[in-house]
Chain A
Amino acid sequence: MRVLSPVGVTKYVEAKDELAVRPERLTGKVVGILDDGAGKEYQDRIKELLMEHEPARIIHRIKPLLSSPAPPQILDGVVRECDVVIVGTGI
C-alpha cells in the first residue's frame, strides 16, 4: 500500500537551530525591544534597566497583536536597525 504524507511543507525547515552570537556587553549597541503589548509600565522598566548598560540607543517597536508573531516588516526593521533585540514577555 502507498500512502501520502499529510504534513505540510514550511519555509522554516531551512531555519537554523542555533543561537546567534551574543555581544559581550550592550555598551554602544543599538538595542531593540519588540513589544508585544504587555503594557507601558513593563516596557518602561525594561528600558530603565537597559539604560544602565549605556547602549547607543533603544528602539521600541510594538507588535499589532500580542498573540501572533510580529509581521515581517517589523521583524526586518529591527534586524536592520539593531545589534540586539529583546523579544517576548513570558506571557
Chain B
Amino acid sequence: MKLQSEIVEVGGYHEAVELFFQRRWSDGLPIVPPTEEKVTEMLRYVGRDPQEVLGEIPPFNGVATIEKLAINSVMAGCLPQYFPVVIAAVEAMLDPKHNLNGTQTTQSGTEQLIIVNGPIVKQIGINYGDSVFGRGFRANGTIGRAVRLILWNLGRNFPGDPDRSTFSHPGSWSFCIAEDEDSSPWEPLHVEKGLSPGSSGVTVFCCEAPHPTLAHGTVKQILISICGAIAGPGSSNYVFLGGGTEILVVISALNAEQFRREGWSKRDVKQYIWEHSRAPYGKIESTGMLTPTELAGSSFVDLLWPKWIDRSSPESLIPITPSPEDIHVLVCGGRGSWCAVCHGWGYGGLAVTREIKIP
C-alpha cells in the first residue's frame, strides 16, 4: 500500500512523541507514533482508498483523506475496529448543515459531541453507562480524541489563532459517548434521524459541556428539573434563535424507566420541554447580548429570530429552539437521579447523522 504523507525519521518512540509536541502535531497530550505499519493496519481494516477525499477541514482547509484520518486515529490510540466510527463522524461534520468552519472558530464554548448507536456500540465496547461523559473506556477516549486530532492537524484551529473559543471545554480533548438503547423506551437516536433499525450510526452535535441537573420522581418532576437547567437567559440559543439552534437533553437509565411507566413518547417529551423551558424576553434583553456592540445598532432579533416569536412585552416567553424537533433526546448514563442538558452553539454545529460503514 503506497502512502503519500511525509515520512519523518526519528530515533525511537520517545523521540517521536517529543517531535510531535515540537511540531505542534499534538493536542497537548502524548501521541502514539503513527508508523507506516500501524497506519497501514488501520487502512487495511476499512478497505478504502487511502487517497479518497472526504472534504477539507476548516479553517486551514487541510484535505481530509482516509490516509490522514488513519494517521490521526493511530496517534489517538484507536484500534482498527474503531476507525469506521471516526470516518463516519468526520463525514457528518463535513455536511454543510453542520457549519464546521463556524464551530472551529467561534467564541462559544461548544465542541463536537460524537454519539454512537447500533450494534457497533457493544461490538467495540463504547461506554453508555456510568460516567458516560467521562474517562475509563478506550473506545470512547480514543475515538473522541482521533476526531479532535483530525480537527487539530487538518483544520489547524489553534487556541486564539484562529479558534476564538473563550473557554472551550474538556470535550475538546475527547467527547464520545453511546446511547443506552436497552434502557431507552424509544427508538434509537440514529433511527429517529433516518437510519434503518439494525444499522450503526453516528450523530455529531456541537454543544457545551453537559450540565447535570438533579432529577427524579414523576416524569413531570424530572422535566421541571430539566427545563430549569435549560432556561438561563444567558444561553446563546436564545440570542441566536433561528440561526442554527438546537439542544440535547440526556436522560439517565434510571429516569428513563419512569418515562416508560407513564407512557411518554419522545415527541411528548420534546413538546413539554419546548413549552416549559422558555425565558422572559425582558431577561434575555437585559443581558445586552441581543444588541452587542459589534452589531453597531442592529439586533439579533431582527437578523435571526423567526417572525412569529412574540416579543411584545418583557414577560413574553421565548422558546429555547424554533421548534420541538430541534430538541434532541438521548438515554445514557448510570442509574442515578440525574439528567443533563447540553446547549448547542445557537449559530450552527447542528446535529448530523451518518451511517457507520462497517467492513
Do A and B associate with each other? yes
Instruction: Please indicate the chain B residues that have their CB under 8 angstroms from the CB of A10 in the complex.
Output: 56, 60-63
Give the contact-size bracket for chain A: 20 to 34
Instruction: Please indicate the chain A residues that have their CB under 8 angstroms from the CB of B154 in the complex.
Output: 6-8
CA distance A43 to B11 in the complex (A): 58
CA distance A7 to B39 in the complex (A): 14
CA distance A38 to B100 in the complex (A): 20
Q: How far in angstroms is the closest Cβ of chain A from B135?
A: 23
B35 adjacent to A41 (CB under 8 Å)? no
Selected interface stretch from B101-109, B136-144, B274-282? B101-109
Give the contact-size bracket for chain B: 35 or more
A8 adjacent to B153 (CB under 8 Å)? yes
Instruction: Please indicate the chain B residues that have their CB under 8 angstroms from the CB of A40 in the complex.
Output: 298
Q: Which of A39, A68, A90 makes the CB contact (< 8 A) with B298? A: A39
Contact A3 B34, CB 8 Å, known A10-B61, A37-B303, A67-B347: yes
Instruction: Please indicate the chain A residues that have their CB under 8 angstroms from the CB of B9 in the complex.
Output: 1-2
A68 adjacent to B35 (CB under 8 Å)? no
B7 adjacent to A3 (CB under 8 Å)? yes
Instruction: Please indicate the chain B residues that have their CB under 8 angstroms from the CB of A39 in the complex.
Output: 295-299, 302-303
For residue B8, CB closer than 8 A to chain A, the reply is: yes
A6 adjacent to B63 (CB under 8 Å)? no
For residue B348, CB closer than 8 A to chain A, the reply is: yes
Instruction: Please indicate the chain B residues that have their CB under 8 angstroms from the CB of A4 in the complex.
Output: 3, 5-8, 34-36, 39, 71
Q: How far in angstroms is the closest Cβ of chain A from B23?
A: 8
A3 adjacent to B296 (CB under 8 Å)? no
Binary CB contact string for chain B from 1 to 34 against chain A (1 if under 8 A, 0 otherwise): 0010111111111011001100001000000011
For residue A11, CB closer than 8 A to chain B, the reply is: yes
A68 adjacent to B297 (CB under 8 Å)? no
B295 adjacent to A7 (CB under 8 Å)? no
Q: How far in angstroms is the closest Cβ of chain B from A43?
A: 9
Binary CB contact string for chain A from 24 to 38 against chain B (1 if under 8 A, 0 otherwise): 000000000000011
For residue B68, CB closer than 8 A to chain A, the reply is: yes
Contact A5 B8, CB 8 Å, known A10-B61, A10-B63, A65-B99: yes
A3 adjacent to B33 (CB under 8 Å)? yes
A6 adjacent to B60 (CB under 8 Å)? no
For residue B72, CB closer than 8 A to chain A, the reply is: yes
CA distance A65 to B303 in the complex (A): 12
For residue A49, CB closer than 8 A to chain B, the reply is: no
Q: Which of B35, B62, B149, B156 makes the CB contact (< 8 A) with A3? A: B35
Q: How far in angstroms is the closest Cβ of chain A from B40?
A: 10
Q: How far in angstroms is the closest Cβ of chain A from B111?
A: 15
For residue A9, CB closer than 8 A to chain B, the reply is: yes
CA distance A10 to B154 in the complex (A): 9
B5 adjacent to A38 (CB under 8 Å)? no
For residue A77, CB closer than 8 A to chain B, the reply is: no
Binary CB contact string for chain A from 44 to 84 against chain B (1 if under 8 A, 0 otherwise): 01000000000000000000011111000000000000000
For residue A91, CB closer than 8 A to chain B, the reply is: yes
User: Considering only CB atoms, which chain B residue lies closest to A45 in the complex?
Assistant: B296
Instruction: Please indicate the chain B residues that have their CB under 8 angstroms from the CB of A68 in the complex.
Output: 58, 99, 101-102
Instruction: Please indicate the chain A residues that have their CB under 8 angstroms from the CB of B297 in the complex.
Output: 39, 41-42, 45
CA distance A91 to B16 in the complex (A): 40
A-B contact pairs, 11 of them (CB 8 A): A1-B10, A1-B13, A6-B68, A8-B65, A10-B63, A38-B295, A39-B303, A42-B296, A42-B298, A69-B58, A91-B294
Apart from A65-B348, A67-B106, list 9 A-B contacts with CB within 8 A. Answer: A1-B11, A2-B7, A3-B19, A6-B34, A7-B62, A7-B154, A39-B299, A89-B296, A90-B294
- Chain A residues with a Cβ under 8 A of chain B: 1-12, 37-42, 45, 65-69, 89-91
